Structure 1
């Protein structure tokens, strides 16, 4: 490779002595001289003036030296980058995640990954399950954290379980049910509900409504909230109550309390989902990191 010839040239140029340059390169002097001669033939230019007393750069050699160093550094950088990408230490990864994933341990795990692999770029975007799966299908993102259950069709994707969350009841702090340590589904009769949009998580919405109906609760839905922040704001304002994932409890805003719910509600299972053909070393390293971190957190 010509990069090797350039490396030999730079070494001789720095030493201005073929013997010392050969020692640095761990080769004998004759092959070194042959490589320099071959480079001169490639360039059709004499690079060194050689006498029995000394070796000096010609004008052509002086012109080549900074360019050769730049090319060698560029080649080294390229090799380092390629190796880092192959090891999953560098590259770009686009990630969609549902709002329920936004826990302190999720954020901490992301931060630790970015700190450890500073050359990796993570593009994170909050999405609903429906939007995330569609984005995956259209190759707009590489990986998604979504709610999954048997009724959600993910046959086009690979998947790995990330975490389980329980349901909680979000209440205004002065609500009568806030006096209880635990609330049963049957306690929710005649209550006004703030619900998430069915279009965002249709399977979860339907299962939640079926669970309420099975407990003889006909929820009076007074508000549909498209984002969780709105749900919490409305509940804290006394507009209604809401069934939320336990990750919501990390938002300890004024006027809002959470209580465990007793009853048969849908399981909240969060999965990592991706296309097999879009797997990269960076994606695999990231998923391994996230699974390791969640395991350490829950143990």
Structure 2
């Protein structure tokens, strides 16, 4: 019995489709089928019932697969511990974060983690979302806090909050007199939004939500942070888009923030980790963030109505 046979069996059980399991494991369907047959011969019974239309798990499979998952996790845990020991970082938690999101994670969740694991050393790194996802997949990062709705199948995520997007305007801009902005009012206006190279999903998500609400989107400039957005807004050369939490944290003289009319465009914040992680500090941080989220601790503060006036 080989580790890859167990991995293929688990993949088929989760996908209930040999072709999708093969795609997930980056091998041919023939390889998956052959390894499953070998495993079934060794067990002396089928794990799956196959028809031309569907795959189902047999009673033998129902009994075997939880043990297979446990064996896979144990092997990966041993590899992870060995790698960490080899680098001298057994007690280190490598944490990636998007710069606009990191402060809330450190203020709210990290103290609770230190209370549970005082010996764990945190190694935080500001990173773009694509870099976080890449380094998680490559096992160079333990957990990330990023803007995303999509990630590879080897990663898992927890929605921390769905945060409304707000409009940043120069105080003298005609739209600043509005209580709320209809997205169509931004048609042909010079907009400043997140760089696509920094986060393709977030950039496209902003644009698609505006277009769905009737906006003809004209991008004046793409920026990587709110600090770079605000001077452009203040000069009157552009209108900015940012999340409500970042707006509340950065009042700026001469700049006002306005919400969108309902339903507001939004951005998702998620913590992301490897599905096969065996690091107890990662599991603890996930639980802490979930508990805080469920109490509303991560909800953005109310945006000041006219911080620039």
Residue 128 of structure 1 pairs with residue 134 of structure 2:
no
Q: 1:265 Cα deviation (Å)? A: 5.8
CA distance in 2, matches of 1:130, 1:112: 27
- 1: CA distance between counterparts of 2:224 and 2:187? 24
- Equivalent residues of 1:95, 1:124 under 8 A apart: yes
Shift of 1:154: 2.6
**How far did residue 225 of structure 1 move?**
0.8
- Aligned Cα RMSD in Å? 2.4
Could you give the per-residue CA deviations for residues 225-245 of structure 1, whole angstroms, max 9, x where no partner exists?
Answer: 123321233223333112211
Residue 270 of structure 1 corresponds to: 269
**Contact persistence 2:193–2:221 (CA under 8 A):** yes
1:257 aligns with 2:256: yes
Indicate yes or no: 2:287 matched with 1:288. Answer: yes
- Alpha-carbon distance change, 102 to 252 in structure 1, aligned in 2, over 3 angstroms: farther
Q: Are the structure 2 counterparts of residues 246 and 99 from structure 1 closer, same or farther at C-alpha, using a change threshold of 3 Å?
A: farther
Alignment pair present for 1:237 and 2:235? yes
1:96–1:127 CA contact under 8 A, matched in 2? yes
Q: TM-score, normalised by structure 1?
A: 0.62
Change (3 A) 1:114 1:159: closer
Q: Which residue of 2 aligns with 1:210?
A: 208
User: 2:165 aligned with 1:190, yes or no?
Assistant: no
1:98: which partner in 2? 98
* CA shift for structure 1 position 266: 5.0
Residue ranges of structure 1 left out of the alignment (5+ in a row)? 1-89
265-274 or 283-292, which moves further after superposition? 265-274
Displacement after TM superposition at 1:272 (Å): 1.4
Distance 1:246 1:289 in 2: 23
Q: Which residue of 2 aligns with 1:85?
A: none
- TM-score under structure 2 length normalisation: 0.60
Counterpart contact for 2:145–2:270, Cα < 8 Å: yes
Task: Give, in angstroms, the shift of residue 216 of structure 1.
Answer: 3.9
State the alpha-carbon separation in 2 of the partners of residues 99 and 282 from structure 1: 22
Shift of 1:93: 0.7
Report the Cα offset of residue 264 of structure 1. 5.5
- Please tell me whether the aligned partners of residues 185 and 263 of structure 1 are also in contact (alpha carbons under 8 angstroms): no
| Number of residue pairs aligned between Structure 1 and Structure 2 | 207
SS in 1 for 2:295: helix
Q: Which has the larger radius of gyration?
A: 1
Q: 2: CA distance between counterparts of 1:221 and 1:137? A: 32
After TM superposition, the runs of 4+ consecutive aligned structure 1 residues lying more than 6 A away are: none
Question: What does residue 157 of structure 2 align with?
Answer: 159
Gapped runs of 5+ residues in structure 2? 1-89, 300-309
